[in-house]
Structure 1
Amino acid sequence: MRLGTGRVPDEPEINLVSLIDVVFCLIIFLVVTTSFNQRSAIRLELPKADIAAEVQPPDPLTIVIDAEGRIYLGNQEVLRRDPASLKEAIAQVAGDDRQRPVFIRADARAQTQALVTVMEAVGQLGFTRVSLPVAPGAPE
């Protein structure tokens, strides 16, 4: 004989609201942390200017100055930063082609002295097509 308590047995239920919240937070985290466009391994914050983007000429010599003042020729770091060593390193990379365009990509937080040293070395070597790429947009 079965005696009943008069209550209807509870059905087990899965609460989907908290599950949806967790999945939504996971999606937001993945979207925020995903790198969509990686231009180079060195993180730079370029100065801003209100200009139109220009077409890059083929095979420019790229010199990068990061926020700490380290100088890179292509992907190689220049260990000695004095003008004579810098000129020698640039001459080795560039060869005899002085008509080759030179892009000096300096971080906006870099010291001005590092930029002046690089520009002086490039000018003394006889390069005439020197550009300082900037990020689009006016400074705030």
Structure 2
Amino acid sequence: MNFRKGRNREEPEINFVPLIDVLLVILIFLMATTTYSKFAELKITLPTADAEKTAENQPKPINVAISANGQYSVNGNAATFSTADDFALLLRRAAGETQDPMVIVNADAQSAHQSVVNVMEAARLAGYGKLTFATQTNAK
């Protein structure tokens, strides 16, 4: 039975303009709030450990100790310096004939960050690229 004689049924119309507007707003929101990862400007190579290497092949390291109050010691001898260049000279003397020795920093946990940075700067000025930090494990 057709009760609607004379009336033509109109097909529903889908309007895509509001859909496009909503999608553009979402796209703009995502573009504005996305954080892009920024790669570090310093390229560092992390050290690896190989248990098969022997200590005989390694050159004599330079042990730099830093106390909690900022006193320095190079290979067990107290070191005093005024500039990073002076400290680099001390490191060169401690290295002797070794071309590129390993500099081991033994810093007290309470020592100032600047003290460690001083050692790193002096090693850079001396031309030593191998630098490591000694740590100890917590005894349980």
* CA–CA separation in structure 2 for the residues paired with 1:81 and 1:73: 15
The one-letter code of the counterpart of 2:104 is: F
Report SS of the residue matched to 2:111: coil
Report SS of the residue matched to 2:105: strand
Conserved? CA contact 1:61–1:94, under 8 Å: yes
The one-letter code of the counterpart of 1:60 is: P
Mapping for residues 56-95 of structure 1, pairs under 5 Å: 57=55, 58=58, 59-95=60-96
Superposition deviation, residue 92 in structure 1? 1.0
* CA–CA separation in structure 1 for the residues paired with 2:105 and 2:99: 15
Superposition deviation, residue 91 in structure 1? 1.0
Identity %: 21
* CA–CA separation in structure 2 for the residues paired with 1:86 and 1:56: 30
Partner of 1:101: 102
Question: Quick check: which has more Rg, 1 or 2?
Answer: 2
TM-score normalised according to structure 2 size: 0.54
Report SS of the residue matched to 1:72: strand
Report SS of the residue matched to 1:136: coil
* CA–CA separation in structure 2 for the residues paired with 1:56 and 1:104: 21
Partner of 1:119: 120
In structure 2, relative to structure 1, the CA distance for the partners of 1:71 and 1:81 (3 Å cut) is farther
Superposition deviation, residue 124 in structure 1? 1.8
Superposition deviation, residue 96 in structure 1? 4.1
* CA–CA separation in structure 1 for the residues paired with 2:113 and 2:81: 17
In structure 2, relative to structure 1, the CA distance for the partners of 1:102 and 1:56 (3 Å cut) is farther
- Structure with the bigger RCO (C-alpha within 8 Å, sep 6+) is 1
Report SS of the residue matched to 1:135: coil
Task: Identify unmatched segments of 5+ residues in structure 2.
Answer: 1-48
* CA–CA separation in structure 1 for the residues paired with 2:116 and 2:63: 13
The one-letter code of the counterpart of 1:101 is: M
Conserved? CA contact 1:71–1:81, under 8 Å: no
In structure 2, relative to structure 1, the CA distance for the partners of 1:107 and 1:89 (3 Å cut) is same
Task: Identify unmatched segments of 5+ residues in structure 1.
Answer: 1-51
Give the number of aligned pairs.
86
TM-score normalised according to structure 1 size: 0.54
